Structure 1
Amino acid sequence: MRVKEIMTAPVVTVPADATPATVAAVLREHRISGVPVVDPDGAVVGLVSEYDLLARSGGTAGEVMSTAVISVTEDTDVDEVRHLLVERRIHRVPVLAGARLVGIVSRSDVVALLATEWVCQVCGEAVRGSQAPTSCPKCQAGADQFVLQDPDPGS
């Protein structure tokens, strides 16, 4: 599965000159824990997380942001993103098309994928994904033969 299938878009962003209070308000309003900082052309120049707001002092997002941003493309495999999130101990990864921000993938996006399972009504094959597959990898049945499997109660 590719990042473009699970990323959140459009992305909430802030400019580098936003105040920490403005960034905090954006995080609270959108119920997110971090936000990309973009330049006037929309290129990502950093990320501000809740941690950055609490641990760093400065008058602008540009002064408190983390500048070592790890990004991926829309065609990056979700397993690669999962690996990045775990190994680098980060919470979100901007998704770029060239230099343009087109989405963001967070830990919660990847976790949600784990809970989404489609079952082929013809052969019983289970496939994880945010959307039903276009065809069954086992029996080649069409997308209309897939139903969303309810998670087990208590899991």
Structure 2
Amino acid sequence: MMNDLKAKEIMTVDVKTVKKDDTVSDVAKMLIQDKIGGLPVVDEDNKVIGIISETDILKKEKYIEPPRVINFLQGLIFLDDMKNLEKDLKRIAAYKVEDLMTEDIVTVHEDDKFDDVANVMIKKSINRVPVVDDDGKIKGIICRYDIIKSLYGDK
């Protein structure tokens, strides 16, 4: 029965999206107002280029551990990886969506089978997956809620 369902039949079609130049503050307000956990980020052609979630925004607020250093012959030797510190500093200073969004995302095609969509969400431990057409343009979104509703909702 579920094998016959396609992504386009269970997805939410009235999908709110954001652009990479939108502010993190505006996105946070949208998440609160609409009571959702994340939004697809699209370009000018409506192609999905990332996702920004409440987790991404929470990471922005995390405490940064100062790097451990030792003073040796009047110079400083850093004991921690400076790339991690650089990433943390960039995240905290983030103002635009592009500074926080996850770019390496999973999408599904509108004609993908229900089982394939559910399995990819479980295997990748993701809460939402954008549904795209052949050109990579957003057609909808499927959240865990949509999966559960399809399985147990009133028929």
Same fold, judged at TM 0.5 (above): yes
Q: Which residue of 1 aligns with 2:48?
A: 44
Q: 1:41, 1:4 → 2: CA distance? A: 20
Identical-pair percentage: 36
TM-score, scaled to structure 2: 0.73
Equivalent residue for 2:19?
A: 15
Alignment-mate amino acid for residue 105 of structure 1: I
Question: After superposition, what is the alpha-carbon deviation per residue over 1:53-96, rounded to whole angstroms, capped at 9, x for unaligned?
Answer: 11132111111000011001111011111111111000011000
Runs of 4+ in structure 1 off by over 2 angstroms are none
Separation of aligned partners in 1, 2:46 and 2:110? 17
Equivalent of 1:67, from 90, 93, 103? 103
More strand by share: 1
Distance 2:130 2:144 in 1: 12
Q: How many angstroms apart in 2 are the aligned matches of 1:16 and 1:27? A: 16
- Select the structure that is richer in helix: 2
Over alpha carbons, which structure has the higher Rg?
A: 2
Q: How many residues align?
A: 118
SS in 2 for 1:94: strand
Q: Give the whole-Å Cα distance in 2 for the aligned partners of 1:2 and 1:19.
A: 34
User: RCO higher in 1 or 2 (8 Å CA, sep ≥ 6)?
Assistant: 2
Matched, 1:99 2:109: no
Match of 1:35 among 16, 32, 39: 39
User: Which consecutive residues of structure 1, in runs of 5 or more, have no partner in the other structure?
Assistant: 119-155
- State the AA in 2 paired with 1:104: I
- Note the residue ranges of structure 2 that are not aligned, 5 or more in a row: 61-90
CA RMSD of aligned residues (A): 1.1
